[in-house]
Amino acid sequence: MKTEIRLAGTGGQGVILASIVLAEAAGVYEGRHVVQTQSYGPEARGGASKADVIISDEPILFPKSRRLDVLVCLSQQAADKYFDDLKVRGIAIIDRFYVRECPREGTICLPLSETARNELGRELFTNIVTLGAFAQVTRLVKLHSLEKAIAERVPLHTLEMNQQALTVGWKLAANPL
Amino acid sequence: MAVQLLSGNEACAIGALRAGVKFFAGYPITPSTEIAEYLSRKLPKIGGTFVQMEDEIGSICCMNGATAAGLKAMTATSGPGFSLMQEGIGYSAMTELPCIIVNVMRGGPATGSPTRSSQSDVMQARHGTHGDHPIVTLCPWNVKECFDLTVEAVNVSERLRIPVIVLADEITGHMRETVELPEKPLLWHPTNPRKPRDQYFHYDDSNNYDSNIASFGEGYRIHLTGLVHRKDGFPTNDPEIIKWNMDRLRKKLEDNESWLWDVTFEDLGSETIIVCYGSTARSAMEAKRQYERKTGRRVGILRLRMIWPFPQQRLVSLLKSARRVIVPEMNQGQLNRSIERTVSPDVPVISVLRYDGETLTPEAIIEAL
């Protein structure tokens, strides 16, 4: 089975890091075939940013996602641009605060950035909250694998907060408002 | 060996380290920067040197200097920087200093599209610097090969005393995959003994390649110049020696073609064969997979790991039974002309091109099938 996932938002929201953590969790800690790619503008913050992860049981040749099984949008611009790429029965997760107009029914709207702000004190943790929610909704990767990947990929002084963010996201998606 | 999630650029930097590269001079440029970043952290820890130069002209000259002093050295860049390096590449070819350049291609010309992918430096890699010169160009198609071909580049460059280019692109450079990289890859070591000091000539007929050459600081008489030179390295205008010098450079590739020409292939008995290189080979392989599942008809694939020197004779024999050849490239058609020359004129060579910064899709290739 092959699953195509896209995480999209604005530069600075950490979608690329989140995609790397996801790919590492599935690839290194669960032994699946993975490919992670990204595209972004030249600016460090503010431009559009998107990252694709493909998880598969067989070797992945073409590295880009085109018909998405899962789409996560952290900005309105991303939602406007990428919902067309989502399969009819695909799963969509959006940030309730930044995506005001939801392009499709059945979309899972979660207060991802608000939760990061209110429960973890900084919006910076939105990406990892998102990963926790992603794992809960899709069950594509184990929470434990994500924890291990986070430990490898985030700066040490933020590790505890990031682990907490993951759990918060997992719980958030278990009981959507 | 452990499984790791790495980008092509990281794998390339690790390949350099495990091949014994101890010196990097460069100037950061998207999409190659991660190579410099990685080596700037690692090289100082193993007694190596990382220098960020003022630009790419300085970078390649700095690298040439380090090589002349006997170190395995490397630089990495992308389009605009690669243009600036051309002068130093020629100097490396003329002075027969090993020289390793990783060019992670982006869209051009000029500053072009920094974060987009392209394969438009194919001809520049071969002919970018002036004068008849030997050069080898390797094209990785996945993360593992970014490692393998960097190691290969170091080996070939040392063995033939020529510049070698690893021609990656934004896709292979930035893409992450899980890989297991060997701790100790196979490295080339000179086996011939070096002549004693009083008989040593830096450009002797016996040391054109596969040789144990001396470096600055070892007590040998070495003279390096970009001018045409005699076997002792000093300049000359003597037509006979100019010809000797030029023939010598040509023979580096001519004499070694048999082991240099490196291609991988599948199903070459098929009527239609896709000839591909670099990241577009991934699209080609996917196109083959989908097409065969759908139609039950086989398609051949021929992937070039080394595009320069162009494996002319080998392709002539491998493509002998082909009735149609398809060449996918992310440029306006660069390697297709070399491929046309390997098949008879009645065999159509169909280019599938994309140059809008996006990845060439398998569907575009299937359409041509």
pLDDT band of residue B191 (cuts 50, 70, 90) is: confident
Tens digits of per-residue pLDDT, B101-114? 999 999 999 999 99
* Residue B160: both structure tokens together: 């033939």
Residue B178: list chain A partners with CB under 8 A: 27-28, 33-34
Report helix, strand or coil for B74.
strand
- Given an 8 Å threshold on Cβ–Cβ distance, is A61 in contact with B283? yes
Alpha-carbon gap: A42 to the closest alpha carbon of chain B (Å): 7
pLDDT band of residue A43 (cuts 50, 70, 90) is: low
Tens digits of per-residue pLDDT, B56-98? 999 999 999 999 999 999 999 999 999 999 999 999 999 999 9
State chain B's mean pLDDT as an integer: 96
Concatenate the DSSP letters of all residues of B155-211 into one string: HHHHHHTSEEEEEEEHHHHH-EEEEE--SS-------SPPPPGGG--TT-GGGSSS-
- Given an 8 Å threshold on Cβ–Cβ distance, is A63 in contact with B4? no
> For domain B266-368, which architecture applies?
3-Layer(aba) Sandwich (3.40)
Which domain does A164 fall in, by range? Answer: 2-174
Residue B114: list chain A partners with CB under 8 A: 42
Report helix, strand or coil for B15.
helix
- pLDDT for the residue B234: 98
Same topology for domains B3-180 and B266-368, yes or no? yes
Predicted TM-score (pTM) of the model is 0.95
The one-letter amino acid code at A91 reads I
- Chain B residue with CA closest to A55: the answer is B177
Q: Which H helix or E strand runs over B89? A: helix B79-95
Total domains in the fold of chain A: 1
Tens digits of per-residue pLDDT, B300-319? 999 999 999 999 999 999 99
Q: How many helices (H) and strands (E) does chain B have?
A: 13, 15
With a CB cutoff of 8 Å and minimum separation 6, the contacts of B196 are none
- Choose from B1, B3, B5 for mutation: most chain A CBs within 10 A: B5
Alpha-carbon gap: B192 to the closest alpha carbon of chain A (Å): 43
For strands B324-329 and B306-308, give the pairing.
unpaired
| Out of B115, B174, B361, closest to residue A42 by CB | B115
Domain residue extents for chain B: 3-180, 197-258, 266-368
B292 touches chain A (CB under 8 A): no
- Given an 8 Å threshold on Cβ–Cβ distance, is B282 in contact with A63? yes
- Chain B residue with CA closest to A61: the answer is B282
- Given an 8 Å threshold on Cβ–Cβ distance, is B282 in contact with A61? yes
CA distances from B121 to B253, B262, B302, B348, B366 (A): 21, 20, 21, 25, 25
ipTM of the complex: 0.93
pLDDT band of residue A105 (cuts 50, 70, 90) is: confident
Residue A60: list chain B partners with CB under 8 A: 177
Measured on CA atoms in the order B290, B291, B293, B299, is the torsion positive or negative? negative
CATH number of the domain enclosing A140: 3.40.920.10
Query: Which one is the CATH code of B3-180: 3.30.1280.10, 3.40.50.970, 3.40.190.10, 3.40.50.300?
Result: 3.40.50.970
* Residue A128: both structure tokens together: 């990892």
The mean per-residue pLDDT over the stretch B218-230 comes to 96
Residue A177 has pLDDT above 60, yes or no: no
Cis bond upstream, residue B193 (ω within 30): no
- Choose from A5, A19, A20, A62 for mutation: most chain B CBs within 10 A: A62
